[in-house]
Amino acid sequence: MNQRAPEDQAHHPGTVRTSSELLVDLRERSPLVQCITNTVVTNYTANVLLALGASAAMVDLPTEAGPFAAVASGLLVNLGTPHAEQRAAAVEAVESAAIAGTPWVLDPVAVGGLPVRTDLARRLVAARPTIVRGNPSEIIALAGLGGGGRGVDSSDSPDDALDSARLLAERHGAVVAVSGAVDLITDGARVVRVSTGTPLLTRVTGGGCALGAVMAAFASLTADALAAAVAATTVYTVAAEQAAEEARGPGSFAVALLDRLASVDGADLVARSVRA
Which residues carry a binding-site annotation? 58, 133, 179, 206
Torsion angles phi and psi, residue 232, rounded to 5: -60, -45
Strands 8-10 and 191-194, by their bridges, are parallel
d(CA 16, CA 152): 30
DSSP helix, strand, coil percent of the chain (3-state; round to 5): 55, 15, 35
Torsion angles phi and psi, residue 198, rounded to 5: -155, 145
Hey, which residues does 131 pair with through a beta bridge? Answer: 105, 175
Task: Name 6's Cβ contacts closer than 8 Å, sequence gap at least 6.
Answer: none
d(CA 260, CA 139): 29
Determine contact, residues 104/121, Cβ cutoff 8 Å: no
Measure Cα distances from 64 to 35, 58, 130, 193 in Å. Answer: 12, 11, 22, 37
d(CA 272, CA 252): 21
d(CA 73, CA 115): 31
Known binding-site residue numbers for substrate: 58, 206
Instruction: Reduce the DSSP state of residue 152 to 3 states and report it.
Output: coil
Burial class (CB in 10 A: 0-12, 13-18, 19+), 104: buried
Known binding-site residue numbers for ATP: 133, 179
